[in-house]
Amino acid sequence: MTEEVTYILPVIPPPPEGEVAIITAVDGYTGPFFRGDGPINLRCGRCMHLLVYHLHPGQIINLVLKCSNSKCGAYNAIISVPTVENLIGRLQNASSATVAQLPDLAQILGYAQKHKIDKEKLFTGIREYMPEFAWIEKLIVPQSPGDFYGLMGFLIALLSWYQAKKPSKRERVKKTANDFLRADK
């Protein structure tokens, strides 16, 4: 049997109505949305409530799960594990100068997510101001606007975590992120 794995899902802002499928619990139901016999469990990224129990890889994709914990209600995006593995592999092989710019990239992605910046404008800005991260455009191939914003939320969380785990000795360069943010206005 394959080893059991639990993933904590990225929490995203409430998606615009009609842009992504959202699974919501009926009143009073607090259990997992899906149960199976596979090795994967999914937990809410805010409260750690179990949302999916024992599914197989790829069994559910392109969904948002609204947490079934009545005290939480966070929107959790289901993302592709190969996409995450590709991203982590690229970050592990990145230069220390590139790693030092991760907080700036996270700031740009957070701003774009909060202000619902069009993905073409976002990627144009990244190519112009942070060309070492241009590969992110090819990595993120969303099927819908909900996927795009869900992946951005996940990237922000992952980049913050990665930066905390691998601190740089180089002082952060704020100019790039500030230039990008000012260019939007």
Across the chain, mean pLDDT equals: 77
Q: Name which residue leads in pLDDT, 165 or 126.
A: 126
Q: Give the predicted TM-score (pTM) of the model.
A: 0.52
* pLDDT of res. 63: 83
Kindly state whether residues 101 and 115 are assigned to the same domain: yes
Kindly state whether residues 40 and 120 are assigned to the same domain: no
Kindly state whether residues 92 and 107 are assigned to the same domain: yes
Which of 42-51, 89-98, 114-123, 168-177 is most confident?
42-51
Of 77, 95, 127, which closes a domain? 77
In terms of residue numbers, what domain contains 106? 81-183
Kindly state whether residues 138 and 86 are assigned to the same domain: yes
Interval 91-142: pLDDT, tens: 778 788 887 888 888 888 878 878 888 888 888 988 898 888 888 777 665 5
pLDDT band at 47; cut points 50, 70, 90: very high
pLDDT band at 71; cut points 50, 70, 90: very high
Q: Cα-Cα-Cα-Cα dihedral of 124, 157, 73, 66, to 10°? A: 60
Q: How far apart are CA 86 and CA 67, in angstroms?
A: 27
Kindly state whether residues 158 and 89 are assigned to the same domain: yes
Kindly state whether residues 122 and 173 are assigned to the same domain: yes
Kindly state whether residues 169 and 152 are assigned to the same domain: yes
Cβ–Cβ < 8 Å for 87, 47: no
Kindly state whether residues 97 and 168 are assigned to the same domain: yes
Lookup result for tokens 């000795």? 169
> Can you list the pairs that 120-124 forms with residues at least 24 positions away whose Cβ atoms lie under 8 Å?
121/184
* Confidence check: pLDDT of 157 > 90: no
Strands 11-12 and 34-35, bridge-based pairing: unpaired
* pLDDT of res. 11: 87
Of 77, 96, 125, which closes a domain? 77
Kindly state whether residues 111 and 64 are assigned to the same domain: no
Q: Name which residue leads in pLDDT, 163 or 44.
A: 44
Interval 18-40: pLDDT, tens: 777 888 998 889 989 999 898 98
Of 77, 93, 124, which closes a domain? 77
Q: What mean pLDDT is predicted for residues 161-179?
A: 50
* pLDDT of res. 1: 53
Kindly state whether residues 90 and 72 are assigned to the same domain: no
CA triplet 113, 89, 130: central angle to 5 degrees?
45
* Confidence check: pLDDT of 177 > 50: no
Kindly state whether residues 88 and 178 are assigned to the same domain: yes
Number of domains in the chain: 2
* Confidence check: pLDDT of 154 > 90: no
Going by C-beta distance under 8 Å and a sequence separation of 6 or more, which residues neighbour residue 99?
91, 162, 163, 166, 168
* Confidence check: pLDDT of 175 > 60: no
Q: How far apart are CA 139 and CA 20, in angstroms?
A: 20
